[in-house]
Amino acid sequence: MHILVCIKQVPDSAQIRVHPVTNTIMRQGVPAIVNPYDLYALEEALRLKDRYRGRITALCMGPPQAEAALRKALAFGADEAILLTDRAFAGADTLATSYALSAAIRQVHQSLPVDLVFAGKQTIDGDTAQVGPGIATRLDMQLLTYVSKIVSLDLSAREIVVHRRSEGGVQVLKTRLPALITVLEGINDMRFASLTDVFRAERHKLTTWSKDDAHIEDVTKIGLKGSPTAVSKVFAPTSTNRRAEIIETQSGQPVDLAATLVAKIVSRHPDVALAINPSPVPDERPL
Amino acid sequence: MSEHFDAIVVGAGPAGNTAAYTMAKAGLKVLQIERGEYSGSKNVQGAILYSDALERVIPDFREDAPLERHIIEQRVWVLDDESYLGGTYRSADFSKPPHNRYTIIRSQFDRWFSQKVRDAGALVVCETTVLDLHMDGRQVVGVRTDRENGSVYADVVILADGVNSLLARKAGFHEELKPKDVGLAVKEIHFLPESTIEERFNVKGTEGVVIEMAGKITQGMVGTGFLYTNKESVTIGVGCLLSDFKKSGIAPYALLEQMKEHPAIKPLLAGGEMKEYTAHLIPEGGYNAIPAVYGDGWLIVGDAGMFVNAVHREGSNLAMTTGRIAAETVIDLKARDKPMTARNLAAYRAALDESFVMKDLKKYKDVPDIMDRNRQFFTAYPNLASQAAHTLLTVDGVDKKTKERAIRKTFTRARTTFGLFADAFKLWRAFE
């Protein structure tokens, strides 16, 4: 069995700041990490390898420094790592990215047939969740997104059964291989690599592929040229100055709290009172 | 795992990186183990980089190291509640390359340094904690990490694991840190546009300013404050002895908040946006608190060995220098095929004694103790100095002689004539 895992190096969104003057994202000094969702995908692939044996190839498209992400994948137990890097890929949107990645996967497939492709449900920088499905479509693979559990894998029948999270509940789906699966967060807990694996990863000679190595000839399909998406504006949401208010009464009784709350709402929004009670009755209390 | 290395370096701060780099460059088989996600991810410093110590290891570091600003102006302020009395040294000479010191952002700088260590041929492993040292009798022969198959062996282990040096303490090489021997510093980085920094601090290009502060800002505790200019931010911080924080009950963040409100400091930060808040322990015990720094199969470098000159606020350069000298000791023994015994590794301590590291620390060995026992230097004197300046600079029809007499009186009233002489003597003794 040969599983290919797509990983992406992303800026740690928890540490991203917006430049107060230019309003652009300040990438300098922001640490690059492996897209957290991809780690769930990698771990799920590793678990299948533990059970059924086989090979795992990690594939990453990015600048040369994305090598760090692949070394991490190797440390966790990936057997091979390919960095798809070329200036021609710069500025790629999800359409161009899935084109380049599927071309590379086709090349990998020629030397060792790929049974499964794993990806995270989305990246934390783009949040589109389009690249995985894009690859499946281009490679004409079965596509299972938002997978929360892999129930069984039958290599002889070439079938896989998974749980897929949908809005209404969980779908139990069976499909044939080769398939592309995007996994949900929390599907597993990432392992802690052994020191042996960490050493192996650090010493591993990475495979680096240019667009030519991936046999990409049509340059209008990759990079900025192959990207119909245009970013017209990036801006930081303006912070609202609304403040929470704690309502207290002397008695602390729920009924008093509710009355105080209603009084407060009515005093600030008289129209609410009208909506509740369209024709106010005259005060019935005796004078 | 039975893999064997010439040397294992624990920690990837300035001391560990310098040691690992120097040994790897000399062709030794080096393993460096870092607890953080990457070198620099957990490392905290002011931070000023002194060129000399790094230059001795990587002469052309200026070509690609992430440096913020080179320092052309140093201000020293003694602050009272509303005022400060200070001195400034600025020289255009400091703008002529090669520059003598720079402000840096450690998370970026350490990452750069770590890449150099890898390029030199060392095996660098991060997100891995060394739990124990493997011993063979008295000889350290390797380390045990928190990973599966986590043991690895070497002829010598260099402990560059920082101020707490849990590993050395666990192994019984030194005692637990004493609160009076460590400073606790807190700092914030405030974003400010480059143009604002240039205007506010009267600098251009990559020029920068350093302000060192003492006085009332530490509220009677032994400590100092600082403000450094980075490319697009200003770092402000304050540090005091941990024992003083404990005694006074003042929260470090509250101290920094109050310092930021000082009328001389507030305008320098105005309009900034806080980007980072960090805290760090600084080993400030000085010469007398330095533990044993070598033994059978082990060496201690950097903060772990108390190598900080608190008086001159130097630390990273001592870390790099001790790291380099430790590495050179190992390289030399290796070249002569000598075992890494305490007897042979004693050459490290001997070389340190001959370097500026020990000479400087020895020179100021009494300072921590004198400051600890004479709080007037942080309370009464800033106040008296400010008053004196204020009296002299206020033109109000009083003749200068009367003013001088009044100033003299405030000093003798506060400290008595004998007290003044005694304080002067103490300072002379401490800094001589």
The tens digit of pLDDT for each residue in B66-89 reads: 999 999 999 999 998 888 988 899
pLDDT for A47 beyond 80:
yes
Query: Are B147 and A29 an interchain contact pair (Cβ–Cβ within 8 Å)?
Result: no
Cα A33 to Cα A29, A38, A39, B260, distances in angstroms:
12, 11, 10, 34
The alpha-carbon gap from A203 to the nearest alpha carbon of chain B, in Å, equals: 8
Q: Are A121 and A129 in contact (CB under 8 A)?
A: yes
| Residues from chain A contacting residue B148 (CB–CB below 8 Å) | 192-196
Identify whether the C-beta of residue A144 lies closer than 8 Å to the C-beta of residue A164: yes
**Least confident piece of the model among B203-217, B237-251, B377-391:** B377-391
Question: Measured between CB atoms, which of B145, B150, B191 is closest to A20?
Answer: B191
- Are the C-beta atoms of A211 and A101 separated by less than 8 Å? no
Residue B88 in tokens: 């400034």
Closest residue to A193, CB basis, from B1, B105, B147: B147
Given a cut of 80, whether residue A132 has pLDDT beyond it is yes
CB spacing of B148 vs A195 below 8 angstroms: yes
pLDDT at position B10 over 70: yes
Highest mean pLDDT: which of B19-33, B167-181, B375-389? Answer: B19-33
Q: How many CB pairs under 8 A join A and B?
A: 46
CATH topology (fold) of B4-66+105-175+291-354: FAD/NAD(P)-binding domain (3.50.50)
Q: Is the dihedral of CA A127, A128, A129, A132 positive or negative?
A: negative
> Which residue of A9, A198, A202, A206 is the best one to mutate when testing the B interface, meaning the one whose CB has the most B CBs within 10 A?
A198
Q: What's residue A251's pLDDT?
A: 87
DSSP string, B184-243: EEEEEEEE--HHHHHHHHT--TTEEEEEEEEEGGGTTSSEEEEEEE-SSEEEEEEEEEHH
The pLDDT value recorded for residue A284 is: 54
CATH class of A2-221: alpha beta
Q: What is the pLDDT of residue B408?
A: 86
Residue from A97, A95, A90, A114 nearest A35 by CA: A97
Contact B147 A21 (CB under 8 A): no
The residue count of chain A comes to: 287
Query: Which one of A31, A196, A202 has the shortest CB-CB distance to B123?
Result: A202
Q: Is A268 on the interface with B (CB under 8 A)?
A: no
Q: Which of A240, A248, A282 is nearest to A264 (CA)?
A: A248
Q: From the CB of residue A242, how many other CB atoms can be counted at a distance below 10 Å?
A: 6
B115 to A106, A121, A146, A265, B247: CA distances (angstroms): 33, 32, 37, 60, 43
What pLDDT, on the 0 to 100 scale, is given for residue A278? Answer: 64
**What are the structure tokens assigned to B48, written together?**
């000023």
Q: Which chain B residues touch A195 with a CB distance below 8 Å?
A: 1, 125, 128, 145, 147-152
Q: Which pLDDT value is given to residue B426? A: 74
Alpha carbon of A19: minimum distance to chain B alpha carbons (Å): 9
The predicted structure's pLDDT at residue B414: 80
pLDDT of residue B32: 98
Q: Which two tokens stand for residue A229?
A: 């998406």
> Which residues have CB under 8 Å from A167's CB, separation 6+?
none
Set of chain A residues whose Cβ sits within 8 Å of the Cβ of B3: 199
CA distance B80 to B128: 46
Which position has the higher pLDDT, B151 or B383? B151
pLDDT(B391) > 90: no
CB contact under 8 A, B147 and A199: no
3-state helix, strand, coil in chain A (%, to 5): 35, 25, 40
Q: At B1, which amino acid appears?
A: M
Round to whole Å and give the CA distance between B431 and A245: 57
Task: Indicate the SS3 state at residue A83.
Answer: strand
What digits encode the pLDDT tens for the residues B202-223?
A: 999 999 999 999 988 999 898 9
**Domains B4-66+105-175+291-354 and B180-283 alike in fold:** no
pLDDT at B368: 79
Q: What is the pLDDT of residues A138-196, one digit of tens each?
A: 999 999 999 999 999 999 999 999 999 988 899 999 999 999 999 999 899 989 999 99
B360: number of Cβ within 10 Å = 18
Residue A203 touches partner B, C-beta closer than 8 Å:
yes
pLDDT in tens, A65-80: 999 999 999 999 999 9
Query: Which of A26-40, B58-72, B304-318 is predicted least confidently?
Result: A26-40
Q: Which residues contact B235 (CB under 8 A, 6 or more apart)?
A: B46, B47, B103, B187, B188, B189, B190, B226, B227, B228, B229
B interface with A, Cβ–Cβ below 8 Å? 1, 3, 37-38, 41, 105, 107-108, 123-125, 128, 145-152, 191, 193, 273, 275
Cβ(A108)–Cβ(A56) under 8 Å?
Answer: no
In which band, very low, low, confident or very high, does the pLDDT at A23 lie, cut at 50, 70 and 90? Answer: low
- Give the closest of B1, B107, B273 to A195, CB-based: B1
Please report, for chain A, the start and end positions of each structural domain, with discontinuous segments joined by +. Answer: 2-221, 245-287
Burial A59-85 (b: 16+ CB within 10 A, else e): bbbbeeebbbbbbbbbbbbbbbbbbbb
Flag whether pLDDT at B387 surpasses 90. no
Mean pLDDT, rounded, for B27-44: 93
Q: What is the pTM of this model?
A: 0.85
Q: B37: phi > 0 → left, psi -120 to 50 → alpha, else beta; which? A: alpha
Q: Which fold has domain B180-283?
A: D-Amino Acid Oxidase; Chain A, domain 2 (3.30.9)
Nearest one of B386, B70, B77 to B227, comparing CA atoms = B77
Averaged pLDDT, B334-343: 97
Option in A20, A196, A202 nearest B149 (CB): A196
Confidence band for A286, pLDDT divided at 50, 70 and 90: low
Positive or negative: CA dihedral A193, A194, A197, A199: positive
CA distance A64 to A95: 21
How many beta carbons lie within 10 A of that of residue B129, not counting itself? 18
Place of tokens 């002489």: B421
What stretch of H or E contains B248?
helix B242-248
CA–CA dist A62, A85 (Å, integer): 6
- Tens digits of per-residue pLDDT, A215-269? 999 999 999 999 998 888 777 777 777 788 888 888 889 999 999 998 888 888 8
- Does the structure show a pLDDT above 80 at B300? yes
From chain B, pick out residues whose CB is under 8 angstroms from the CB of A193: 147-148
Predicted local confidence at residue B432, as pLDDT: 67
Chain A residues lying within 8 Å of B191, measured CB to CB = 17, 20
Residue position matching structure tokens 């010598």 = B156
- Whether residue B273 and residue A20 make contact (CB cut-off 8 A), yes or no, is yes
- Whether the pLDDT of residue B342 is over 80: the answer is yes
Cα–Cα distance for residue pair A123/A34, rounded to 1 Å: 9
Residue A12, pLDDT score: 84
Mean predicted lDDT score pLDDT of chain B? 92
Model pLDDT, residue B420: 77
Mutation target among B147, B191, B196 for the A interface, most CBs of A within 10 A: B147
Mean pLDDT, residues B82-106? 91
ipTM of the complex, rounded to two decimals = 0.81
Domain ranges of chain B: 4-66+105-175+291-354, 180-283, 369-431
Residue whose C-alpha is closest to residue B105's, from A31, A210, A85, A257: A31
Residue A271 CB: number of other CB atoms within 10 A?
A: 8
